[in-house]
Structure 1
Amino acid sequence: MIKVNAIGDNCPIPVIKTKKAMKELTGPDTIEVLVDNEIAVQNVTKMAQSSGGKVTSEKKAEKEYRILIEMEGAPAAEEAEEEVSCTPDKRGNTIVVVSSDKMGSGNEELGKVLMKSFLFAVTQLEELPKTMLFYNGGATLTTEESDSLEDLKNLEAQGVEIMTCGTCLDYYGLKEKLAVGTVTNMYSIVETMEQASKVIRP
């Protein structure tokens, strides 16, 4: 694994350091990039994906983010020479509300597969949501046994606020197993939805 420490670096330095590490690859390898803000996560993620990398990221602590980039080798020359730019925050004022661990009605197993695909698709949006709210059955998706934890941690690392209903976690006995985001209450859920410019419900 190649390690890149870009904590304390302003854009575009984290992207430049990561591109340099990519150019030095001689075969399949993983690059670990450490940064201290969500915008750096967004910029490094965008560049790495455009260079053919598989990217995951997570928030380790306040002002500490870890990005893992799986590469098959050095990017093609034209990709490596792409101009480095600092893009603005990708988050809009859209709220995603998830009230079940399944998407749609009908077959339960299919519904769970569709929900997992939906949450992954959110990570690929050009404009990320500002907040994702999880309540009722959706509260299980932010806990330790969730198949979507990697995608949700990726979104959180890019600045998306992940909020899960505390009453719901208590009901399912999962409050101690929350693995991403924070616990919220009904007042905050209503307030967040009321202030949103758009609400998406899968």
Structure 2
Amino acid sequence: PQPVMMTKAHVEKGDDAIEVFLNNAISASNVQRYLEKNGYFVRIFDEDGSIIIRASMITEASLPADNAPATQTTDGSALNTPPLPKTVTVSAAPAAARSTASTAVLITKKGIGGDDSLLGEVLMKGFLGTISQMTPLPSVLALMNEGVKLAMKHTSSLDHLMLLEKKGVRILVCGTCTNHFGVTSDIGAGVISNMFEITEALLASDKILSL
């Protein structure tokens, strides 16, 4: 999460304008979400193979024209950013049904329980299917370690995760973990996230359920 942490330091200093140089699209997506969440207008540029984020604190005067592209190259044309795994714009998702106390779910395994991996995976699929029908829903579901494999395309658990996502649950998938297992391009639900964003979301919740 280093790019996000370095950006956070400037946000906390109250900098009105921030420029971030990055070398991959997933890190750029993480930084962009963090800045937009904290009230910055973000533009992304591709200059000589580097991704550059230029952000400014949103004021009425700084808002762009409706037809101005938010992502550009140096010559002003729209930038075709590298394809990313499916992401979710959290602010645009419907609010999850929840009580006053919010709950986060942290999943670090493909299955529930002990030595019988087949039974464990059946139980995990059943858990995700059940929780997607519960009220209130969790506010956040974070996938780490082998848990990220639950969000892979063509897995039996994917439909349940997509339903939770559709209902407004934030699905955060550990990017370090997907890189380790070599499955980043195979993720079909949630947003590729980082340790800072996941930790922040868990600590902001009233209760954490860990599996």
Partner of 1:193: 202
Aligned position for 1:142 = 151
Partner of 2:98: 91
Q: 1:127 to 1:144 in 2, by over 3 A?
A: same
Number of equivalences: 122
Contact 1:143 1:179 (C-alpha < 8 Å) held by counterparts? yes
The answer to whether the 8 Å contact 2:88/2:191 transfers is no
Deviating 4+ runs (over 3 angstroms): 59-65
TM-aligned CA distance change 1:61 to 1:191, over 3 Å = closer
Distance 1:189 1:89 in 2: 18
Q: 1:135 to 1:64 in 2, by over 3 A?
A: closer
Matches of 2:124 and 2:93, distance apart in 1: 29
Residue equivalent to 2:187: 178
1:79-158 residue pairs with structure 2 within 5 A?
90-92=97-99, 93-158=102-167
Residue identity opposite 2:106 in structure 1: V
Q: What is the SS of the residue equivalent to 1:154?
A: helix
Same amino acid, percent of matched pairs: 31
Whether the aligned pair in 2 keeps the contact of 1:91 and 1:159 (CA below 8 Å) is no
CA offset digits 1:2-57 (Å, max 9, x no partner): xxxxxxxxxxxxxxxxxxxxxxxxxxxxxxxxxxxxxxxxxxxxxxxxxxxxxxxx
- What SS does structure 2 have at the residue aligned with 1:95? strand
**3-state SS in 2 of match to 1:105:** coil
1:150-179 Cα offsets, whole Å, 9 max, x none, are 111111111001010000000111101110
Offset, 1:145: 3.0
Q: Secondary structure at the match of 2:192?
A: strand
- Tell me how far apart the structure 2 counterparts of residues 134 and 146 of structure 1 sit (CA, whole Å): 15
Aligned with 2:188: secondary structure?
coil
Instruction: Give the TM-score of the pair, scaled to structure 2.
Output: 0.53
Structure 2 SS opposite 1:112: helix
Contact 2:87 / 2:190 at 8 angstroms: preserved in 1? no
Letter in 1 for 2:97: K
Q: Partners of 2:198 and 2:114 in 1: how far apart?
A: 24
CA RMSD of superposed structures (Å): 2.4
Please name the residue that 1:160 is paired with: 169
Structure 2 alignment gaps of length 5 or more = 1-85
